[in-house]
Every structure is written in structure tokens, then in C-alpha cells.
Amino acid sequence: MSQPVTVTRDGNVAIVTIDNPPVNAMSFHVREPLHARLLELRDDSSVEALVLACAGRTFVAGADITEFGKPIQYPFLPEIIDLIETFQKPTVAAVHGTALGGGLELAMGCHFRVAEASAKMGLPEVKLGILPGAGGTQRLPRLVGPSKALKMIVSGTPIGAKDALASGLVDEVVDGDLLANAIRFAREKAASKATLIAVSQRDDKLAPVRANMAAFDAEIAEVLKKSKGLDAPKTCAQSVRNALTMPFAEAATAERNFFHELVKGDQSRAQRHLFFAEREANKVPGVGKDDKPRKIAKVGVIGAGTMGGGISMSFVNGGIPVTILEMSDEALKRGLGVIEKNYGISVSRGSLTEEAKAKRMSMFKGTTDYADLADCDLIIEAVFEEMGVKEKVFGTLDKIAKPGAILASNTSYLDVNEIAKFTSRPQDVLGMHFFSPANVMKLLEIVRGSKTAPDVIATAIAVGKAIGKVPVVVGVCHGFVGNRMLGARGAEAEDLLLEGATPAQADKVFTDFGWPMGTYQMWDLAGLDIGWRTRKSLGKTAAIGDALCEQGRYGQKTGKGYYLYPDGRTPVSDPEVEALIVEKAREKGINRRDISNEEITERMMYPMINEGARILEEGIAIRSSDIDTVWVNGYGFPVGKGGPMFWAELVGLPKIVERLDYWYGKTGKEVYNPSPLLRKLAAQNGSFADATKAAA
Ligand code: T1G
């Protein structure tokens, strides 16, 4: 095991190298020797300059998140950074990879920073429900100015080396040997007897903004607009603002206090849970390190509709060329036209350059001939959700696809094992369920068939991550994990309206909870006719939903559904719908009553939890945190509540079971019947995580 901290010499320059794989996190076993070595080097007169570097793939990527929630052992990171600032000789951070959080804070404790051209730097603590707690909210504004620091810290988005150089975060960007250049830079600074000003003592970038606090407060209001319901963004902004109004030491102390407040809160616990959950989701039983992902250099997509087009864009955006197959030139032209229009919107928004758009458009090939997919490494069909259509497609793919090609279905519900039977290569077949709009939504449900080979799963995970998705492996059942639980969440939506709720009231319960929208608005967005068609095919009815469709009220796309959409997007309650609901209730002899917001939560969100517990019992999800990852990345479950299963434990499983029992007793509906696992955990005051471990 290599030493976490080593010191070497290059003449009068001392090089301190941190080596703590995989990301050089600032764990205690790094902090302790680092503090000791720095103390020695500071007082060693033979050392005329110091370079702080890291081994491995990245400079320090932050404090050790696994240490949060436990007593943190001295020396703390702020003390180490303050110690570096007492050096009376040049200190230089050699930055490569991703210098994030405490890593960037450490680098900002040095007088200078030299970065590799490919390096990224940022303070992503807000994504963990906390704020930079080692001086970041005080030093970053002093280096890049309060406005840029505010945006970087409240968004948590890192910047590249070029931007860092231009904004004053780094002093030099190098292409060649980073360490050699950092040593050269340090030696130059020592030789020139350059004036050394600790970052905490600088004020030149603060003074101009301090003179106009009203303008800065307006900037704060602007950046906080999207942070609804979360505490950390507001606290981040307040701490950056303190840099303008308080002496460094006082503001740094306030920052530490903010950190200790936030880190013990439910929101940070939820967001740290999601950080590790997303990574746990890549660990799949039966898929080991020897199951190497196959190379995916070319992708084929069948269908250039909404899903096929979005899926194709996801791969091209990830640098993988796509051949799109459609049944006619006209459909192909339409599909490629929508893709071009989407890129055009990005260009007009400034998030894509014209040349990047041209390059991406050049990576699409259109065809109406299956033979053109023969050289694809992965082929994904996004055709009509009907087994007969899938049979034709996979039967043809089996004949034309090269050996070893992976054949994936983007089906949202259908049985992937049935689909695999349409081929002679079930081991190469799986589901890759994208979420609309597929080029935007991060979730990718990887549906593992009973015969899907381990390396095919490994490939789907790897290529999913490569194109910026969050892959979660799920089992075969109707709706897999997300849509199956969505069904449970909406099961009582119709009856709640008949019994007394309104769409606006029920949807406000959801938006107040932190969802982007409620059930009825979501149905209007997706199109009410989809559900209507499904109900008719299953011989089912829904008094209100059917009536709306019979009036041609399909939702947003027809300008009205449960709501009116006068501007095409914003839902407005419609008295006609409320009259329809009252009429349907009368026809059914239902006496409407006031429905409380708690009842709406109990009858829509608790059934979701119950279905999640059933999914765990059946092994459709490997672990409860996978379910949380699905919901946060595929359906907008608020990150501050950690996902449905994490939130259920905040509510208390005994309470959820008690309320489900109440509604089951009152209605006899299966959606309320507590699953045996849920009942067992509630009785034992256990947690879903325990159940997952026990099942593993
Ligand atoms: N602490 C502990 N473990 C970490 C970690 C961290 N900061 N970062 C990553 N890991 C683990 C991760 O769980 C995984 O483990 C393995 O490393 C590889 O990670 C005081 C308070 C650096 C961009 O938020 O963004 O500093 O699954 O799969 O895709 O103000 O990791 O292999 O067992 O993500 O190449 C601030 C978090 C912390 C950065 C690399 N820093 N990390 O991505 O690998 S708070 C962050 C990342 C803080 C200070 C505050 C990414 C990455 P396993 P990975 P990757």
C-alpha cells in the first residue's frame, strides 16, 4: 500500500504528493500526515518553494464524504489550508483531473495554481446539500470575483482550465508535464522573490462589488430562482455574500457553522444517499470485473419518432455515430428534421455552437434498409409498443445484425424475455428503457432478461454512463421499476376527483412536496389519449378520463385536458372539468366531500412506497437505493427527500403501514394492501437497506 503522503525534493523545491485512490479524497489518513509534513517543510529553510500534487487520475476530488455524519478527526481541512497560507515561500498546487470541493479549497490555500489543460475545477458541495466548508465561499470570490463564485457555488458546476485561467482561478495552464511545469513555476516565483499574498488577504475583486450590494443581491435572487425547497443553495449564497461584508476570519467561521448545520440535516443526508446510490446502482450481482463491456463504436436506432430521435441524439451527443432506420424516406426526413431543429434551439440558446451542431448532424445516417444496420455494435428499437411489431423487428434484426451485436428494446412495459425469444441470440438481448425527452432525461432502466449475458449488462451500463445517463439494472415485469410504481401512484387519481378533490388541489400537494408537477398535469403533458387507448384495449373505463378524451381533450397537445393551456404550457383550472367531475360523481351516487392534502399524500404516494416494497420482494430491483435512483433521475422526485424509499423512512414505515391498512380496510383495494416486506420492516422498525443486505 503506497504512502498517502510523500515528500520528494527537486533542488530547492519540495514536492508533496497525495496518493489516496480512487479520487484522492481528503480522508483522515491523508490529512494527518499532510499536516505534519507541511509543518516541517514550512520551517525548513532549505525549502524555497512547495508544490502540492496528487498521484493517480485526479487532484483531490473533495473531503471524504463517507466521513460525514461521524465525528471528524483533527487535523481538519480548514486548518491545513490555513497552515499553507502561513508559508512565507511560494506554494503551488499542480491541478489535474477534477479538483473539486475540498480539493479546490486546498488548491486555493496555495499562493498559485498550475493546471493541466484538461483539468476541471469546482465546488459541488451544494449537490450534497451542504456548502464548501473549508474556506471555499471566501477564497473563490477573492480569485474569480463574487459573481462568478456565486454562480459556481450555487450551481455546483465545475469549470475547465481555460475558463479558470481567464477568471483568475489558476495562474498557468500547461499542456506538457504538469509536475515539471509546476516545479519550474514554483522555482521562478522563489527566484523572483515574487510578492506573496495569501488568497484570504486579497480584496481587489471584492471591492468593486462591495460598492454596489443592491446589484449583487439582485444576482443572488436570480441564481436562487431554481433552488425551490432546498436549503443549501440559499446558505451558499449567504456565505458568498458574507465575503463582501465580513472580515475573512469571521466569515470563515460563519461558513463552518453553516456547514455543521447543513451536514446533519435530512436534505444533506438525502443528497449524500443519492450520491452513493447512483454509484451502487452500477454494482450488479453476477456481473463482475471480468465481464468486460463490448466496444460500442456504432449504434443503430429503429424509429425516428420522439423516442427514437431522442435516443439517437443521446448517443451522438456522447460522441457515438448513429444510423437511424425508418420505414419511409418521409418519416426519416421528418425525424432528422426534428433532431436538427432541437440542435438549432440549443444553438439559439448559446449552449451549442454552429460548428458543433454541424458536426453532430454529420454523425447521423438515415436509412430505410435494415442491411445498413449490419455493422452496428448496438441496435435499439423504439417502435410501436405492441408485441407483434417487436416480433417482426427482432426477427429481422436476428437475421441481419452481426454476431455479438447487442439488440435492445426501448419498451416501457413489455416482457423482454418474450422479445428475446424472437431471436436466436437471447443472450444478446435486453431492454434499454429511456425516458422522454430521451436526450434530456438522465435515467436509463437496463432491463435484464433471464438469458441476458453478464457482459451485455456491463456494456449497457458502460455505454449508458458514457453518454451521460444514470443506468439502473431492473428485472422483467409490467413497467419494470419506475412505471410500475407510477401506476400505483396514479391508481386512485380518478376516485380522488370523484370523491371531492380537484386536479389543481391534488397537483399542488405534489408541487409543494417538491415534484416538478402533479399527476394530472403530467398526464396532460404525456397525452390522455395514450391511457384511454390502453384502457380500451384492456376493457377498462375511467369515468372522467374517458369523458375528457371523448370530448377530444387529450391534454396539452390539444390545448386542454384536465386543465386549459391558454399559453400552450401553463395549466389553468377549467370550471368545465370541475362540472364534469361533479356530474360523473352524481351519476355514480358519490357524495363528494372535502379531501385533505394528507389524504392525497396517503392515497397517492404511500401506494408508490408499497409497490416499491413489492418490487424489492420480487427482486425486480436489486436494492432500495436503486429505486430512489430511478425516481430522482427519471421522474423528478425531489433530491432533498432522497427518493421514495429514503423518504418513506423519514416518514416512518410504521406510519405508512398504519395508513395503508386504514385505506385497505376502507376500500379493499389491493394497491393499499401492505406488502409483507413493508409490514415486516415496520414491525421491526427496520429499514429497506437492511432488507436489501439480507436478500443479497
Ligand atoms: N468521498 C468519498 N468517496 C468518493 C468521493 C468523495 N468525495 N468521490 C468519489 N468517491 C468514490 C465513489 O463513491 C466511487 O466509489 C469512487 O470514488 C469513484 O467515484 C470540505 C465538505 C470525482 C468526478 O462532491 O464527483 O469536499 O463506487 O464512480 O465517475 O468543502 O466521484 O468505486 O466504491 O464517481 O470517475 C466534494 C464527488 C465533497 C466530488 C469522479 N466533492 N465525486 O467521477 O468516479 S464534500 C464532490 C465526484 C467537500 C469541503 C466539502 C466523482 C468524480 P466506488 P466515481 P468518476
Q: In this structure, how many other beta carbons lie within 10 angstroms of the beta carbon of residue 451?
A: 16
pLDDT score at 685? 87
Task: Assess whether 464 and 505 both reside in one domain.
Answer: no
341 SS3 class: helix
Each residue's pLDDT tens digit, 124-164: 999 999 999 999 999 999 999 999 999 999 999 999 999 99
> How far is Cα of residue 405 from the mean position of the Cα atoms in its chain?
29
pLDDT given at position 226: 82
Q: Do 334 and 394 fall within a single domain?
A: yes
> Ligand 1 pocket, 283 CB below 6 A?
no
Q: What is the rounded distance in angstroms from the CA atom of residue 650 to the CA atom of residue 15?
A: 47
Query: What pLDDT digit, counting tens, does each position of 361-393 carry?
Result: 999 999 999 999 999 999 999 998 889 999 999
Atom of ligand 1 nearest to the CA of 283: 27
Q: What is the ipTM of this complex?
A: 0.97
Where is 15: in which H helix or E strand?
strand 13-18
Strand 172-174 relative to strand 112-116: parallel, antiparallel, unpaired? parallel
pLDDT, tens digit (0-9, with 9 covering 90-100), for 433-473: 999 899 999 999 999 999 999 999 999 999 999 999 999 99
Active site members: 105, 125
**Which CATH number does the domain housing residue 617 bear?**
1.10.1040.10
- Cis amide prior to 247 (ω within 30 degrees): no
Confirm if 363 and 322 have CB atoms less than 8 A apart: yes
Same domain, 649 and 512: no
Q: Which amino acid is at 153?
A: I
Q: Quick one: pLDDT at residue 376?
A: 98
Contact 51, 183 (CB under 8 A): yes
Would you call the peptide bond into 654 cis, given omega within 30 degrees of 0 as the criterion?
no
Same domain, 420 and 555: no
> CA-to-CA distance for 510 and 229, rounded, in angstroms?
12
pLDDT tens readout for residues 285-297: 999 999 999 999 9
- pTM for this one? 0.94
Does residue 280 lie within any of the structural domains? no
Q: Supply the mean pLDDT for the chain.
A: 95
Q: List strands edge to edge, sheet with 120-122.
A: 98-100, 120-122, 159-160
The CATH number of the domain holding residue 567 is: 1.10.1040.50
Structural domain contains residue 488: no
In a domain, 494, yes or no: no
Give the C-alpha separation, 276 to 264, whole Å: 17
Secondary structure string (H, E, C) spanning 273-289: HHHHHHHHCCCCCCCCC
Q: What is the pLDDT of residues 580-632, one digit of tens each?
A: 999 999 999 999 999 999 999 999 999 999 999 999 999 999 999 999 999 99
User: Does position 358 have pLDDT exceeding 90, yes or no?
Assistant: yes
Which CATH number is 257's domain given?
A: 3.90.226.10
Using alpha carbons, select from 304, 554, 556, 612 the residue that is nearest to residue 438.
Answer: 304
Distance from C-alpha of 525 to C-alpha of 508, rounded to nearest angstrom? 16
In short, whether 133's Cβ falls inside 6 Å of ligand 1 is yes
Residues 389 and 356 in one domain: yes
pLDDT band (50, 70, 90) for residue 69: confident
CA of 101 to the centre of ligand 1 (A): 10
- Is 592 a member of any domain? no
The 8-class DSSP code of residue 437 comes to S
Decide whether any atom of ligand 1 lies within 6 Å of the 134 Cβ.
yes
Set of cell numbers at residue 12: 530547492
Q: Which atom of ligand 1 is nearest to the CA of 282?
A: 27
Residues 187 and 213 reside in one and the same domain:
yes
Our answer on whether the CB atom of 128 is closer than 6 Å to any ligand 1 atom is: yes
Number of separate domains in the chain:
4
- Percent of all residues in the chain with a pLDDT value above 70, rounded to a whole number: 99
pLDDT computed for residue 303 by the predictor: 94
Determine, yes or no, domain membership for 668.
yes
pLDDT surpasses 90 at 232: yes
Same domain, 524 and 571: yes
The DSSP-derived string for 487-553 is: HHHHTTHHHHHHHT--HHHHHHHHHHHT-SS-HHHHHHHH-HHHHHHHHHHHT---HHHHHHHHTT-
Residues 312 and 225 in one domain: no
Residue 691 has pLDDT above 90, yes or no: no
In a domain, 132, yes or no: yes
Structural domain includes residue 124? yes
Distance of CA 204 from the midpoint of ligand 1 (Å):
33
DSSP state of 135: S
- Ligand 1: centre distance to CA 61 (Å): 6
Domain-ending residue, one of 264, 282, 310: 264
Centre of ligand 1 to C-alpha 138, Å, is 23
Radius of gyration in angstroms for the set of CA atoms belonging to the chain, rounded to a whole number: 28
Q: What is the pLDDT of residue 332?
A: 95
Whether 156 and 240 map to the same domain: the answer is yes
Determine, yes or no, domain membership for 283: no
Best of 65, 67, 81, 284 for a ligand 1 pocket test (most atoms within 8 Å of beta carbon): 65
Quote the pLDDT of residue 418.
97
Question: In terms of domains, do 433 and 541 share one?
Answer: no
- The mean pLDDT value for 262-269 works out to 96
> How buried is 346 (Cβ within 10 angstroms: 0-12 exposed, 13-18 middle, 19+ buried)?
middle
63 shares its domain with 173: yes
Q: Which of 206, 240, 264 is the last residue of a domain?
A: 264
Structural domain span for residue 109:
5-264
CATH number, domain with residue 389: 3.40.50.720
Region 549-564: mean pLDDT is 95
pLDDT > 90? residue 538: no
Q: What is the mean pLDDT of residues 337-361?
A: 94
Q: What is the pLDDT of residue 696?
A: 58
pLDDT (0 to 100) of residue 195: 85
- Angstrom distances, CA of residue 133 to CA of 130, 271, 544: 8, 16, 53
Statement: residue 3 has pLDDT above 70: yes
Residue 365, all three cell numbers: 445516417
Residue 674's CB: how many other CB atoms inside 10 A? 22
DSSP state of 560: B
- Residue 503 makes CB contacts below 8 A (sequence gap 6+) with 497, 518, 520, 521, 562, 563, 573, 577
Residue 232 near ligand 1, beta carbon < 6 Å: no
Decide whether any atom of ligand 1 lies within 6 Å of the 136 Cβ. Answer: yes
The Å distance, Cα 22 to ligand 1 centre, comes to 9
Residue 66 neighbours by CB distance under 10 Å: 11
Residue where a domain stops, chosen among 535, 569, 587: 587
CA distances from 477 to 322, 394, 533, 635, 674 (A): 29, 20, 21, 19, 19
What is the mean pLDDT of the segment spanning 537-555?
A: 93
Q: Assess whether 89 and 222 both reside in one domain.
A: yes
Instruction: Determine the atom of ligand 1 nearest the C-alpha atom of 124.
Output: 24
Whether ligand 1 lies within 6 angstroms of the CB of 278 is answered as no
